[in-house]
A = this chain, B = another copy of it.
């Protein structure tokens, strides 16, 4: 089946940041076969989709989250991270069964597809349920069983085996849409030797590491108290960065730590909304970008966001760093868009396959309804996408050449059932 989208504003996010007016994107199977001006002859295509008044751009890549936690949206706000985690999240999450995670994840998939995310990273528990939901939804994801080591030795072993089995069995499944990682939850929730064991498994499986790091000042201070060094040196010492690594948050970094991350090519997921809402602080994004670090965007979970609309992160990443550094070019619009796409692709360790509209890459793309007032006057599409657009403008979502949403209609998820089951699962929790 050969499909072509015609007469659209095509925002390629290629090396030249090319934007093609009256452009077209074609794909066959899961690959992009053409990106350029709308051809005069369309006879070679089985399906021609009119892209008039639409923008077509690479699907957004959400590089950190916990999809199952959408079940806790609005359950606890306006609290400090540690209290929020220990007194609110963890006691409810401890009651989560596979069913809670399944329906929380469905809720998240609906939100993400509707707001333009085509690939996401998920670190959580009951990952089999998450992987099955990803497989059936048609989404692309890099998944990992996040392990917290504040438990008995036996429990730690059990979790490590579970994480290993999950990572081995699900890697490259669902036609390659699902890949995996190994994930020690954080330096403050995993004893050093446990982190080393997890890294060893990642080595054996040849998989990347995903970990929370330096999210709060408290955590950094605690790390120094416990281990005599800040989290970056701690993880470096434990050998984590010898594996390809994606760290989430990275809010509190010294210049030296930024150098270290750059040296090891550590990838960073910037969770701008969550970091503000939990009062964690503002990450040094312009400095990291200047050092060539791949900084991408993550929503974190709906419990600390409280949605999974990556367009909010996109705009906020573009404006926040300007405002707090008094530098109006701190993160220009084009750079913010790269964070949401290309750098996201690097952060899920698939830079060749994802993140831009180029021939040979995976056909992961979204269409925006640019007929609306906030896309006018009709010029400067990149500016409009970053500063004026919204996740709800997404009309179509395509992953690996398959439509997951067409004209706002979800094609792979029963939305009504998912919403109803998510509510039922939430009601079952003791609060």
Which residues on A are within 8 Å of B, measured CB to CB? 70-71, 73-75, 77-81, 84, 107, 110-111, 114, 217, 273, 275-282, 302, 305-309, 312, 315-316, 318-320, 322-330, 332-333, 371, 373-374, 376-380, 383-384, 387-388, 390-393, 415, 418-419, 422-423, 426-427
Given the interface pairs A306-B388, A307-B387, the reply to whether A276 lies near B323 with Cβ below 8 Å is: yes
14 A-B pairs whose Cβ atoms sit less than 8 Å apart in the complex:
A70-B373, A70-B376, A71-B377, A78-B328, A78-B329, A273-B319, A275-B323, A276-B320, A279-B330, A282-B323, A306-B387, A306-B388, A309-B374, A377-B427
Given the interface pairs A388-B302, A390-B391, the reply to whether A279 lies near B383 with Cβ below 8 Å is: no
Chain B residue numbers with a CB within 8 Å of A277 are: 318-319, 322-323, 328, 387
B80 A373 Cβ-Cβ under 8 A: no
CA distance in complex: A327, B277 (Å) = 9
A419 B279 Cβ-Cβ under 8 A: no
Instruction: Please give me the residue from chain B that is nearest to A327 by CB atom.
Output: B279
Given the interface pairs A73-B376, A379-B74, A390-B390, the reply to whether A281 lies near B217 with Cβ below 8 Å is: no
Chain B residue numbers with a CB within 8 Å of A377 are: 71, 73-75, 422-423, 426-427
A376 B107 Cβ-Cβ under 8 A: yes
Instruction: Please give me the residue from chain B that is nearest to A419 by CB atom.
Output: B376
CA distance in complex: A125, B80 (Å) = 46
Contact check: which of B319, B328, B330 meets A79 at CB < 8 Å? Answer: B328
Chain B residue numbers with a CB within 8 Å of A316 are: 316
Contact check: which of B371, B373, B426 meets A107 at CB < 8 Å? Answer: B373
CA distance in complex: A330, B80 (Å) = 11
Chain B residue numbers with a CB within 8 Å of A373 are: 70, 107, 110-111, 114, 415, 418-419
Chain B residue numbers with a CB within 8 Å of A107 are: 373, 376
The A interface is mostly helix, strand or loop, or mixed, namely helix
Given the interface pairs A80-B328, A376-B73, A415-B373, the reply to whether A384 lies near B306 with Cβ below 8 Å is: yes
Nearest-neighbour CB distance to chain B for A314, whole angstroms, equals 12
A276 B319 Cβ-Cβ under 8 A: yes
Chain B residue numbers with a CB within 8 Å of A74 are: 377, 379-380, 383-384, 387-388
A378 B323 Cβ-Cβ under 8 A: no
Nearest-neighbour CB distance to chain B for A119, whole angstroms, equals 19
B323 A384 Cβ-Cβ under 8 A: no
A111 B78 Cβ-Cβ under 8 A: no
Nearest-neighbour CB distance to chain B for A224, whole angstroms, equals 18
Q: A71-B377, A77-B383 are in contact. List 8 more A-B contacts (CB 8 A).
A: A77-B380, A217-B326, A275-B323, A276-B320, A308-B374, A324-B324, A373-B418, A377-B427
CA distance in complex: A275, B328 (Å) = 10
B387 A328 Cβ-Cβ under 8 A: no
Which 3 residue pairs across A and B have the least CB separation, nearest first? A276-B323, A392-B392, A377-B426
B390 A73 Cβ-Cβ under 8 A: no
B326 A279 Cβ-Cβ under 8 A: yes
Residue picked from A319, A393, A418, most chain B C-beta under 10 Å: A319
Chain B residue numbers with a CB within 8 Å of A318 are: 277
B281 A326 Cβ-Cβ under 8 A: yes
Nearest-neighbour CB distance to chain B for A213, whole angstroms, equals 18
CA distance in complex: A387, B280 (Å) = 17
B315 A312 Cβ-Cβ under 8 A: yes
CA distance in complex: A107, B73 (Å) = 34
CA distance in complex: A329, B110 (Å) = 30
Given the interface pairs A217-B326, A282-B323, the reply to whether A77 lies near B390 with Cβ below 8 Å is: no
A333 B374 Cβ-Cβ under 8 A: no
Contact check: which of B305, B328, B384, B393 meets A278 at CB < 8 Å? Answer: B328
